[in-house]
Every structure is written in C-alpha cells, then in structure tokens.
Amino acid sequence: MLKWIIFALCIFGIYFFFFRKPKESQKKEHKKDSIMLECNTCGIYVSSEEAIIQDGKYYCSKECAKC
C-alpha cells in the first residue's frame, strides 16, 4: 500500500511541476506588457507604470498634470 501512496505522490509532484511552469511564464509576460498611455496635455506616450493619473486622465509628468 505504501508504495502506491508514494507512487501517487510522485505523479502529483510531476503534475504540479508541469502545470506550474506555464502559469509562471504567463505572469512574467503580463509584467513585461506595460500599457502605453497618451498624455492628456502634450500627447506623449508614457508607460502605465510611469504615468500619473489625475481625475481619470493620464499625464506623462507632474507638470502636465498641473495644466
């Protein structure tokens, strides 16, 4: 009986190993894809990570957000 339990655990381990990999790679791809947003004042495209959001509008810098 114990052999079968170890055998089952090994199969589960292999399954987890193979199912985890694609999920991790998908997460990495999502991180790489930063959405480009147009500045509401000057029209320059800024990545979503750097953009400043004010009143639901996107700006490239604090200076543009003041306008």
Binding site for Zn ion (CB under 5 A): 39, 41-42, 60, 64
Choice between 15 and 50, CB closer to Zn ion: 50
Q: Residue 54 CB, nearest distance to Zn ion (Å)?
A: 11
Q: Residue 64 CB, nearest distance to Zn ion (Å)?
A: 3
Choice between 13 and 50, CB closer to Zn ion: 50
Choice between 9 and 35, CB closer to Zn ion: 35
The string of DSSP letters for 16-67 reads: HHHHHHHHHHHHHHHHH-PPEEE-TTT--EEETTTPEEETTEEESSHHHHH-
CB 67 within 8 A of CB 55: no
**Residue 24 tokens, joined:** 């991790």
